[in-house]
Amino acid sequence: MKKERQLRILYTLLSYKKLNVDVITKAYDISRKTWERDFEDINLFLSKKGQFRIIEKNNSIHFIGSDINLLEQLQLDDSFLLKEERLIYIFMILLRDLHIAKSQLIDDLDVSMKILENDINELRNIFIQNEANLSIDSRGIKISNIQKDKEIKILIDIIIKHLSLKQVYSILKLNSIEKLFSSYIYKSLEKKYNISIYNKIFIWTLEHASNQYNISNYEIIILSIKITLWLNHPNNKELMIAIVSLNNQRDFYELVKKIYCTEKLKLFTINHYSNNNFNEEIDLFTEYLNKQIKKLFKSNINLNKDIQKRIKDHIKSNLDSTNIDEIILAEYNRNLSQYINTYTELWKVIKDCVAKFFNDSKVLKLIQYEIFIHILVWFDTYIYELEINILTICIGGMGQSAMIKNHLASMYRNAKIENIAFSNINKQVLKRYDIIISAVDISEFKIENFILMPLILILKSKNEIHKVITETIYKNLLGGKMQNQILKKENILINQKAKDKNEAILQCANLLKSQGYIEDEYINSMIEREKKFSVYIGNYLAIPHGLDQKGVIKDGIVVIHYKEPIDYDSNPVNFFIGIAAKSNNHMDILSNIAEKMMELDFVEELIKNPSEERILEEFNF
């Protein structure tokens, strides 16, 4: 197999095992017909190497066989050098002879003049980036004596390009520097740069970094390559001798701090990842992201400490990455497109937040995709553990409904799941539940949190029912309809009238009932509670509630504002806040209300300028 593109495609497949055909054709800028020819050529090449092949199934390409065996065979083959290895070869010839004829390079590398000229132009660009001069004429190329600093930097740039092709997976699988190059190139590098020392430098750097910092394997590989090559600088001669004879990681890290290198490498040392400014910026980003997500979901969701830590660790690992894997980005774009369409609002928040803080990062898109994945996984777990009220409805009788109830109970351990016959439902009953799953259409009740799903589909696929429930809850959260069903806009009444405190308490009770929080038994309990104990708090506020939990369906809070104060045992009251509680879910909101209502100036101003929106914003926690 002489086509370089085909070998690059093969390395890509070895790294990812499975890739969509469209991703391959786009990454290598080839037509489907060209890919079909490459597919045949690659399989012909593989058949000569052993029990290896690639297959196409459902528009995806799979590699079949032992990847490590094939990788090792590829490294032993000096008959064909990849472009980056050709650049290393040309560079090392120039370091030795200062000039070389194009005709000699064509014979040595067994390539066409067109390929050679492309290689030379790429090498010249690397020279220019490192402020070095490479002269080209019709006969050949030449350099002047080059400073050691620039020599090392140029070689590092070429090797990084080569390692980017091999991918992290292949590098880690091969597990030693001699297997990352063809035999001839490795021997040349070893003779001039003692490159085999990389093996222990990588292990020690990996051990040190994994214990203390969040750095990707790729970044550790690159850092190890840079240390290996900079040890060849004359200023590091004694350090090289010391590290060659060294046998432990602790002393290595102390020694490598003394290495002479350019500023570029100093910025890439492990200490960079513990920089306070770097960490502060990530903390500010995570705080801002959480604030924007909380705003998106009407204060219903906060990112917990665990997901915030995972996001911070991920950014620390990837923000300074020098490698942008276009294949990974293409796969993310393809595989996540359906989720981006479903969770468009969440994607936009994440995308905007990342761009606001890290717009100059080369891995901006990668960070956006991967934070989106982290949050989707967290949100999925959040749904499984959510304390929600689910109602199941079947037309076939309570037996079918109970079957669905038990099926859902095995999935959502914290959910309260009830079943009801179709003949017994009404809008008042339906309003009590966060999610309603029915095998029969009940759209005439105009319930937004209703999921119509046939019985067989509910029982057949847990993944499918979970997907639908998750998407329904997501939409409800966006609209503020999942505010723990405690305080929401329709729970607030403004500028009401009541002749006395008893009528005001009864109005709170009736509002709680109409919103599906309580039954009649709790209304009587609220009235009895007032007879025994005053519910007046002070600062124009009363908080009526029952004697116990009897008659409470689920936690709820209602707020009623009276334009004219109600006489409560000679105390003026403009706000009655009714409570129904079966758990402590209401305590955050109630504590927030109590704290705000302690400020008399705030209360008096709110009495004069009330609104459902303002009360919701001020009191929700």
Q: What pLDDT, in 10s, does the model give residues 553-580? A: 877 889 999 999 999 999 999 999 999 8
Q: What confidence category does residue 274 fall into, taking pLDDT thresholds of 50, 70 and 90?
A: very low
DSSP designation for 430: H
Q: Percent of the chain, pLDDT > 90?
A: 35
Q: What pLDDT, in 10s, does the model give residues 25-48? A: 888 889 999 999 999 999 999 998
Compute the distance between CA of residue 519 and CA of residue 431 in angstroms, rounded to an integer.
Answer: 13
Residue 484 has pLDDT above 50, yes or no: no
CA dist 29 to 22, 23, 296, 343, 350, Å?
A: 10, 10, 39, 31, 30
Residue 343 near residue 375, CB atoms below 8 Å: no
The whole-number pLDDT of residue 173 equals: 59
Active-site amino acid positions: 545
Q: How far is the first Cα of the chain from the last one, in angstroms, to the nearest whole number?
A: 65
Residue 142 near residue 99, CB atoms below 8 Å: yes
The whole-number pLDDT of residue 138 equals: 82
DSSP designation for 423: G
Range in 334-338, 369-373, 565-569 with the lowest mean pLDDT: 334-338
Report the pLDDT averaged over residues 172-196: 84
Alpha-carbon Rg for the chain in angstroms? 34
Which range is most confident: 115-124, 249-258, 436-445?
A: 115-124
Tokens representing 186 are 């490795």
Tokens representing 442 are 């009940």
Which range is most confident: 254-263, 358-367, 395-404, 507-516?
A: 507-516
Q: Which residues contact 425 (CB under 8 A, 6 or more apart)?
A: 393, 442, 445
Q: What confidence category does residue 167 fall into, taking pLDDT thresholds of 50, 70 and 90?
A: low
The whole-number pLDDT of residue 454 equals: 63
Tokens representing 14 are 């070895």
The whole-number pLDDT of residue 621 equals: 45
Q: What pLDDT, in 10s, does the model give residues 155-165? A: 999 998 887 77
Amino acid at 460: K
The whole-number pLDDT of residue 555 equals: 78
Q: What confidence category does residue 588 fall into, taking pLDDT thresholds of 50, 70 and 90?
A: low
More confident residue, 148 or 320: 148
The whole-number pLDDT of residue 376 equals: 92
Do strands 416-421 and 140-142 pair parallel, antiparallel, or not at all (unpaired)?
A: unpaired
Do strands 435-438 and 450-452 pair parallel, antiparallel, or not at all (unpaired)?
A: parallel
The whole-number pLDDT of residue 270 equals: 47
Do strands 556-568 and 571-580 pair parallel, antiparallel, or not at all (unpaired)?
A: antiparallel
Q: Which residues contact 495 (CB under 8 A, 6 or more apart)?
A: 561, 562, 563, 610
Range in 122-131, 479-488, 565-574 with the lowest mean pLDDT: 479-488
More confident residue, 310 or 75: 310
More confident residue, 91 or 281: 91
**What is the chain's mean pLDDT, rounded?**
83
Residue 397 has pLDDT above 80, yes or no: no
Do strands 435-438 and 389-394 pair parallel, antiparallel, or not at all (unpaired)?
A: parallel
Residue 390 near residue 417, CB atoms below 8 Å: yes
Residue 435 near residue 471, CB atoms below 8 Å: no
Total length of the chain: 621
More confident residue, 463 or 151: 151
Amino acid at 309: K
